[in-house]
């Protein structure tokens, strides 16, 4: 069995106020924080790295769970620095590594949980061999790189298939998820819900997160 959780993506928040924005999201009912790391190489955009995460950890205290979405070309390189900075889960892209098994082991040895992400063009069969060794599968519902894109409904069969094969696996969806698209995700069996612009762009993020979580819990 799995439980529904909501993790706002702070990519579309006021990045000059990241600590405050993270605290505000936790106060508004976030279960965890989804932190998008982009290196300008794996994706055509740059965000932040482990020095920022270290500062953020100090700003928010020990409790908020940091799910690091590593949109980087060499995920092996940042495992130890991210663990030292206070990351709780290291979600790397299958497309970015030649040796997922080794990386999974390194992440565990660093004391973090393991997330494995696939881009829209990657099949779920490619992920399946690793599903028994990871804590969470991330099925991207947009091309990674930017917030505010349109939800790709045709990714839902990946989620349904994973859910049928791995009943207790945490399955996260990320990209274009909000009140209009959450029902599709819930039906397919996703239980970790990332939402960026729909939450951050709302005047009432508490209600939006409560609504999203409610649908997943049904």
Active site residues: 36, 174
Instruction: Out of 4, 49, 148, 179, name the contact with ligand DX5 by CB under 6 A.
Output: 148
**CB under 6 A: which stretch of 55-63, 120-128, 159-167, 169-177 binds ligand DX5?**
169-177
Binding of residue 138 to ligand DX5 (CB under 6 A): no
Phi-psi region of 64 (alpha: psi -120 to 50; beta: other; left: phi over 0): beta
Dist. CA 21–CA 14, nearest whole Å: 7
Q: Which residue is nearest to ligand DX5 (CB)?
A: 196
Based on the number of CB atoms within 10 Å of its own CB, is 88 exposed (0-12), middle (13-18) or buried (19 or more)? middle
**Non-local CB neighbours of 43 within 8 Å, separated by 6+ positions:** 71, 144, 145
Compute CA distances 158 → 47, 100, 189, 208, whole Å: 28, 19, 10, 25
Lookup: tokens for 214: 């409610």
Closer by beta carbon to ligand DX5, 191 or else 195: 195
From the CB of 68, what's the least distance to ligand DX5, in Å? 11
Binding of residue 175 to ligand DX5 (CB under 6 A): yes
Dist. CA 140–CA 122, nearest whole Å: 10
Closer by beta carbon to ligand DX5, 154 or else 164: 154
Nearest residue to 113 via CA among 79, 141, 139, 145: 79
Phi-psi region of 40 (alpha: psi -120 to 50; beta: other; left: phi over 0): left
Is 197 annotated as contributing to ligand binding? yes
Interactions with Zn ion, residue window 12-71 (CB under 5 A): 36, 69
Interactions with ligand DX5, residue window 36-75 (CB under 6 A): 36, 69
Is 176 annotated as contributing to ligand binding? yes
Q: Which does 191 bind (CB under 5 to 8 A by kind): ligand DX5, Zn ion, none?
A: none
> Which residues are annotated as part of the binding site for substrate?
9, 69, 145-148, 176, 196-197
Instruction: Return residues touching Zn ion (CB under 5 A).
Output: 36, 69, 174
- Contacting positions for ligand DX5 (CB under 6 A): 9, 11-12, 34, 36, 69, 142, 144-149, 174-177, 194-198
Annotation: binding site for a divalent metal cation: 34, 36, 69, 174
């Amino acid at each position: 069995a799995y439980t529904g959780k909501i993790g706002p993506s702070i990519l579309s928040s006021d990045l000059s106020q990241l600590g405050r924005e993270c605290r505000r999201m936790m106060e508004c009912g976030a279960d965890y924080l989804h932190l998008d790391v982009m290196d300008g190489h794996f994706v055509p955009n740059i965000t932040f790295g482990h020095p920022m995460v270290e500062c953020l950890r100090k700003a928010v205290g020990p409790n908020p769970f940091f799910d690091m979405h590593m949109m980087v070309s060499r995920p092996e390189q940042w495992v130890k620095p991210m663990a030292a900075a206070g990351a709780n889960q290291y979600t790397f892209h299958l497309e970015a590594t030649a040796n997922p098994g080794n990386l999974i082991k390194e992440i565990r040895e660093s004391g973090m949980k393991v997330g494995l992400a696939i881009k829209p063009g990657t099949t779920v069969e490619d992920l399946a061999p690793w599903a028994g060794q990871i804590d969470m599968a991330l099925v991207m519902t947009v091309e990674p790189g930017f917030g505010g894109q349109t939800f790709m409904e045709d990714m839902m069969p990946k989620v349904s298939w994973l859910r049928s094969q791995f009943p207790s696996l945490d399955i996260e969806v990320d990209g274009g998820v909000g009140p209009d698209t959450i029902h599709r995700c819930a039906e397919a069996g996703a239980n970790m819900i990332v939402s960026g612009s729909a939450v951050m762009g709302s005047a009432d993020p508490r209600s939006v997160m409560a609504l999203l979580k409610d649908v997943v819990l049904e």
